[in-house]
Amino acid sequence: MNAIISASELAGDLAGDRPPVLLDIRWQLSLAQAAGAPAFDGRAEYAAGHIPGAVFVDLDRDLAAAPGHRGRHPLPDLAEFGAAMRRAGVSSGRPVVVYDGGQGWAAARAWWLLRWTGHPDVRVLDGGLPAWPGPLSTDTPDPEPGDFEPVTGASGLLDADGAAALARSGVLFDARAGERYRGEVEPIDRVGGHIPGAVSAPTTENVAPDGRFLPAGELRARFEALGAAEGTEVGVYCGSGVSAAHEVLALAVAGIPAALYVGSWSEWSSDPARPVAAGPDPR
């Protein structure tokens, strides 16, 4: 099953006999927030206009636990996550489509969580809300509760030790901007740099200027050139496990399975005992 869906395909599915559950995950990383400025208000953006029928899901509240020693966006409590998904109308036997404001990171986080916890049919709207050609709605739907019960994924998740090991035995991609990987700047976390052995692979290079993913063949060629050869185990991390989910999604589009280190740099760098590498060299 393709992990992404085009706006035209989504419009057709919504008009069909078995429309998907549609989730709006409006969110964005705000460096200004780290300096004390007001946070981006995804719910207000949703209220101002969304794809008809979409239900708003709050990334910080529903797709992550509270920030702490496990990072800025650690895994949510599965019972609370399941309850949030059921309130949004998610059922195991009904397709789900997720979208955000266009960056794709938040939608990918929802996609990854639902897939990792056992939902069989989840796709991301390629290009997000800006790709949607139809009218928007300000109506707030009241969906019938779903029956989705999340189960812990058997694979696809890395902890700090697993990420460190994978950087030695396979390939661990760092999805952050290159300057953060090199340690030249670090606007959020305690220290700059990267996990020793990790390879810089900014997630922004997986999409075209309009925010849509590059063709699968181009993505596969990119990742193979960075070390994701056939049979190589692949993992991804970022700052807090959000943009890395977008890279896992890009890898899925390319046909390359990958695990996600959810704690990412915000967890790794908070532990002074963890080694830190800097500069362009992985090690």
Say if CB 180 and CB 204 are below 8 A apart: no
DSSP β-ladder status, 259-261 and 157-158: parallel
> What would the two tokens of residue 95 be?
């397709």
Which member of 64, 238, 248, 250 is catalytic? 238
Spatial distance between the Cα atoms of 269 and 266, rounded to a whole number of angstroms: 6
Beta bridge partners of 200: 174
Who contacts 243 (Cβ-Cβ below 8 Å, separation ≥6)? 29, 105, 175, 176, 203
Q: Where are the alpha helices (DSSP H) in the chain?
A: 7-14, 31-34, 42-48, 59-62, 78-87, 105-116, 160-169, 178-182, 216-225, 243-253, 264-268
Spatial distance between the Cα atoms of 146 and 142, rounded to a whole number of angstroms: 12
DSSP state of 194: B
Helix (H, G, I), strand (E, B), or coil: what is residue 190?
coil
Q: Give the residue carrying structure tokens 């990119």.
A: 222
Query: Phi, psi (5° rounding) for residue 224?
Result: -65, -40
Burial class of residue 273 in the structure, from the number of CB atoms within 10 Å of its CB (0-12 exposed, 13-18 middle, 19+ buried):
exposed
Active site residue 238: yes
- What is the set of active-site residues? 238
